[in-house]
Amino acid sequence: MKCLVLAPQRFGIREVAERIGQEWEEMGHDVEYRLPDGAAARIGPVTVGVVGIAEWWRKQFKELAQNPKAYDLIWTHQPISPTLPTKDPELWNRMIMTFHTTEHEGYRLAKQGIYPRKRLPYYATTRWFEGRFHKRLAALEGTNPMYTVVSSQLHDEIARFGVEDAVCIPNGVFVPEDRDFSPIRHEYGIPSDATVLFNIGRLTEQKRPAVFAETMTEVCNQRDDLYCIIAGKGRLADEVAGHTSERVKALGFVSDEEKWRWFADADVFASLSGYEGMPVATLEALSFGCPVVLSDIPAHRAVIDEYDATGRCVDVKSAAVAAAIDDVVGREADVELPTWEEIAEGYLERFNGRRSNVSAESKKLAPHR
């Protein structure tokens, strides 16, 4: 098959799109990429976010509409466009539309104060664009793109703008095959018999890093043997720094090698995020056999339930977090995660099956001659 992969986003979404595309190439398919690495979200030096991304999608769809049969499969990541350049289902039915997050959820989180309330007008606009695009697409006769979500709780999010029929295909995780890493705690003066809790992620509002650091400070005051390591960088780094101490350490950016060493050496991985699409760091921790303590949000509950993972989902209160740590420490997580090859095959199997059904329905609806 001739495949086109489109993902204007940066970081994780781009990495997933590229990795699956590479797997398709290894299967013998012809794969092209359009991965602007965040440039679509900017106009010159100014970052405009989803508004710029929507314009990028409009241009892509307009170009593709000129030759809708140019590709057998077009894999799009969170497409959103102010217009539909064609009503021809020939183009749209060749698409997979994958959601990792939604603008609708961003709006809800801003209303709740998890995201900054000053961004409400922005999310109100992007939510409107998102809903309008997918509702207009659904109204086109004969149009039936394949929708997928990377985590089961996203079914509820995309249902808010009318998408009810989506397949859940989780992302893989980028972890080394050899997970035998040397201990790292001693390099930071942490005793070998201490309980080490590790957290890694961007220090942004959705991760609630300052809340995490403050909560873990309270938990460390209750447990003399506990050390907490916070890795990652972001605009809330200064707030996190205000809650650090000898036993709550903020490392900033760490290399992949250091990250793997912490996963291998930690006794517990913890996250108190206010929102996750698919919690990659949690899955990375589980792949190292590390039990998890997580905030009680849909994405975290989905990981615990769907993988039967060793962990607890808790309220963001120091007593609840401390009790959960006591419950999971010393227990090894035994989780079997899908490989990238299995995920890539899953996309193609479901897409080819859906295309066959769409073709059969089209023949039924075609006028007899």
At the topology level of CATH, where does 185-328 sit? Rossmann fold (3.40.50)
Residues 157-214: tens digit of each pLDDT: 999 999 999 999 999 888 888 888 999 999 999 999 999 999 999 999 999 999 999 9
Residues 101-157: tens digit of each pLDDT: 999 999 999 999 989 999 999 999 999 999 999 999 999 999 999 999 999 999 999
Where in the chain are the domains?
A: 2-172+341-365, 185-328
Residue 355: predicted pLDDT: 72
Class of domain 2-172+341-365: alpha beta
For residue 243, pLDDT beyond 50: yes
Task: Kindly report the pTM of this predicted structure.
Answer: 0.89
Residue 1: alpha-carbon gap to chain centroid: 27
Same CATH fold assignment for domains 2-172+341-365 and 185-328: yes
